[in-house]
Amino acid sequence: MIKTSFAALSVPKAGAVVVLALDGRKLTQTGAELDKATGGALARAMRESRFHGRKDQTLVLPAPSGLTVSRIMLCGIGKPAEFDDLAAQNLGGRVVSQLGTSGDTRVSVVADPVKGLGIAGPALAANIAYGAILGSYRFDKYRTKEKPEDKPSLEAMTVMTRDGAAAERAFEPLSKVAEGVFFTRDLVSEPANVIYPETLAQQARALTKLGVKVEVLGKEEMKKLGMGALLGVAQGSAHDPRLIVMRWNGAPRAKEKRPIAFVGKGVTFDSGGISIKPAANMEDMKWDMGGAGVVIGLMRALAGRKAKVNVVGIGGLVENMPSGTAQRPGDVVKTMSGQTVEVINTDAEGRLVLGDALWYVQDKFKPHTVVNLATLTGAIIIALGHEMAGLFANDDRLSDRLIDAGKKVGELLWRMPLAEAYDKDINSDIADMKNVGAGRGAGSIAAAQFLKRYIQDGVKWAHLDIAGVTWNTRAKPIVPKGGTAFGVRLLDRLVRDHYESK
């Protein structure tokens, strides 16, 4: 993680320097001063390039003679009114990605005030630093022979602003969210021989240091609760399942005593079970616990920034493996809700885990709202690719809030349908339901309809199918390759905007 700090506005004397430019190749004050000191070198560089100062444009050049800094990076902000906190974060991420291996160890970003900018001065500086941290993530703990030139040289960023103290205050809660994001990315990136139900539960227990109450249910406790669906998935593995229960009571005096709940699928490795997956790319199934990983990271973020909200986080942790004890296609299991499921395909296991976890959190904690996350279906990737997650909801207002929060943080959602016609598709001839629909069509919807049967009357519910967005093969400014932690920032923003006590 890159180190960040804030300082008063000035013209930097050493290291790499980043200055801002508006659309039309108009430099901000510090850029103009540097341009004047170099006899117009920055203006000439812009004229002879395709850099116009539009949002997301960058131009890096060695420092012209007359300056003691190493290099100058121009970052476009486009039209001031359209430049918001997400744009500032992406700017910070671009600085890290482009200067990370430049040889420079320090960079100064000069956040000059800009008239009409869509984000205030301290918030501008804070979000640039926040984006730089998010973009600096690397999971390299297992690399033993990495070439020095491939390692990032950039160690620290100073953001210069009019009010450094105010920027530091604005940055503090953002840094706690970044810690939650990094925690999730680490968990998702770990191999399945390191992260399995027992060890993932141990990672969740670390949140007690932040004031989160953590309880872990084992196999025998889940048997007593009647969680036949979750236990059925786990029975083929040498690793016993766990149900992690995390509680953050940040608003004990709130008028609304019922919590909001977040539930995550935590299949630490998904071989498909008896309905085994093809060998190609099966290694990716280490991150089938992404939903639970997001819930753990979210709880860390909320507790870290002392969010004034009462939250319950649940993770159903299992490993889905083929063996002599594994669940078979055609088996019938009884869930905690009392409903029975005919297991047609053992590779449709996530919904079985979530069914019991969803019922448990409602039965135990009576939440007013439940949001679950799961890398649930390949069908959602066919529908939406890797740009958006699928959103299913029984409440329009909750759906709108989630979509809005996603837009604000750059984690986009697309609402998918729920309907009685799809629900009939999972009816079974011998049990209350099947765990898959008939044929190949509408696979994601069938899975959502299955989960909806475990939502109790009066509970607002949303299901996020994050199968296409949990792992990133193409680096973005604030989301490097690998585990994305998609959902941590989105749900933190949802809570901040709508559920925290004011």
Tens-digit pLDDT profile for residues 153-206? 999 999 999 999 999 999 999 999 999 999 999 999 999 999 999 999 999 999
- Per DSSP, the chain holds a count of helices (H) and strands (E) of 15, 20
Verify that 157 and 181 share a domain, yes or no.
no
Verify that 141 and 186 share a domain, yes or no.
no
Identify residue 460 by its one-letter amino acid code: K
- The residue range of the domain holding 62 is 3-162
Residue pair 174/134 in contact (Cβ under 8 Å)? The answer is no
Question: How sure is the predictor about 254, in pLDDT bands with cuts at 50, 70 and 90?
Answer: confident
pLDDT per position as a tens digit, 410-463:
999 999 999 999 999 999 999 999 999 988 899 999 999 999 999 999 999 999
Active site (annotated) includes residue 219: no
Residue pair 372/463 in contact (Cβ under 8 Å)? The answer is yes
Verify that 108 and 242 share a domain, yes or no.
no
Q: Which candidate in 277, 308, 334, 407 is catalytic?
A: 277
Q: Which of 137, 162, 187 is the C-terminal boundary of a domain?
A: 162
Verify that 386 and 266 share a domain, yes or no.
yes
**Helix runs in 305-442, H state only:** 350-365, 379-384, 396-409, 420-423
pLDDT per position as a tens digit, 347-373:
999 999 999 999 999 999 999 999 999
Identify residue 427 by its one-letter amino acid code: N
Instruction: Examine residue 108 and state whether it is found in any structural domain, yes or no.
Output: yes
pLDDT per position as a tens digit, 285-336:
999 999 999 999 999 999 999 999 999 999 999 999 999 999 999 999 999 9
What is the helix (H) or strand (E) element at residue 178, kind and residue range?
helix 164-189
pLDDT per position as a tens digit, 69-87:
999 999 999 999 999 999 9
Question: How sure is the predictor about 213, in pLDDT bands with cuts at 50, 70 and 90?
Answer: very high
Maximum separation of any 2 CA atoms in the chain, in Å: 83
pLDDT per position as a tens digit, 17-62:
999 999 999 999 999 999 999 999 999 999 999 999 999 999 999 9
Give the Cα separation of 424 and 437 in Å (integer). Answer: 9
Q: Which of 106, 128, 162 is the C-terminal boundary of a domain?
A: 162
Give the Cα separation of 429 and 22 in Å (integer). Answer: 65
Instruction: Examine residue 329 and state whether it is found in any structural domain, yes or no.
Output: yes
Question: How sure is the predictor about 120, in pLDDT bands with cuts at 50, 70 and 90?
Answer: confident
CATH code for the domain of 276: 3.40.630.10
Residue pair 375/489 in contact (Cβ under 8 Å)? The answer is no
Give the Cα separation of 341 and 67 in Å (integer). Answer: 71
Verify that 306 and 239 share a domain, yes or no.
yes
Q: 3-state SS of 451-485? A: HHCCCCCCCEEEEEECCCCCEECCCECCECCEECC
Residue 345, both tokens: 């395909």
Residue 146 has pLDDT above 80, yes or no: no
Q: How many CA atoms lie within 13 A of 260 on its CB side?
A: 25
CATH code for the domain of 52: 3.40.220.10
The answer to whether the Cα torsion of 328, 329, 332, 335 is positive or negative is positive
Pick the closest to residue 241 from 293, 317, 355 (CA basis): 317
Q: How many CA atoms lie within 13 A of 161 on its CB side?
A: 25
Residue 375 has pLDDT above 80, yes or no: yes
Verify that 246 and 147 share a domain, yes or no.
no
Give the predicted TM-score (pTM) of the model: 0.97
Q: Which of 162, 189, 221 is the C-terminal boundary of a domain?
A: 162
Give the Cα separation of 215 and 98 in Å (integer). Answer: 43
Residue 177, both tokens: 């969210």
Question: How sure is the predictor about 121, in pLDDT bands with cuts at 50, 70 and 90?
Answer: confident
Residue pair 444/379 in contact (Cβ under 8 Å)? The answer is yes
Q: Residue 426 carries which DSSP code?
A: G
Give the Cα separation of 168 and 322 in Å (integer). Answer: 52
Compute the average pLDDT of residues 90-97. Answer: 98
Residue 367, both tokens: 């939440």
Q: Which candidate in 247, 351, 453, 460 is catalytic?
A: 351
Residue pair 81/113 in contact (Cβ under 8 Å)? The answer is no
Return the bridge partners of 22, or none.
26, 78
Helix, strand, or coil (residue 25): coil
Instruction: Examine residue 170 and state whether it is found in any structural domain, yes or no.
Output: no
Give the Cα separation of 97 and 109 in Å (integer). Answer: 14
Verify that 364 and 424 share a domain, yes or no.
yes
Give the Cα separation of 235 and 238 in Å (integer). Answer: 8
Verify that 81 and 131 share a domain, yes or no.
yes
Give the Cα separation of 488 and 474 in Å (integer). Answer: 19
Give the Cα separation of 76 and 74 in Å (integer). Answer: 7
Verify that 102 and 235 share a domain, yes or no.
no
Instruction: Examine residue 389 and state whether it is found in any structural domain, yes or no.
Output: yes
Give the Cα separation of 267 and 291 in Å (integer). Answer: 9
Verify that 350 and 457 share a domain, yes or no.
yes
- Give percent of the chain above pLDDT 90: 94
Instruction: Examine residue 481 and state whether it is found in any structural domain, yes or no.
Output: yes
Instruction: Examine residue 235 and state whether it is found in any structural domain, yes or no.
Output: yes
Look at residue 1 in the predicted model and tell me its pLDDT.
Answer: 87
Residue 147 has pLDDT above 80, yes or no: no
Beta strand spans in 56-209 (E) = 58-62, 71-78, 106-110, 156-161
Look at residue 255 in the predicted model and tell me its pLDDT.
Answer: 86
Residue that has been written with the tokens 């799961």 in this structure: 374
Instruction: Examine residue 322 and state whether it is found in any structural domain, yes or no.
Output: yes
For residue 397, what are the CA distances in angstroms to 203, 461, 494? 34, 11, 12
Verify that 118 and 206 share a domain, yes or no.
no
Give the Cα separation of 421 and 425 in Å (integer). Answer: 7
Q: How far is CA 90 from the centre of its chain?
A: 15
Instruction: Examine residue 403 and state whether it is found in any structural domain, yes or no.
Output: yes
Active site (annotated) includes residue 277: yes
- Please give the tally of structural domains in the chain: 2
Verify that 158 and 254 share a domain, yes or no.
no
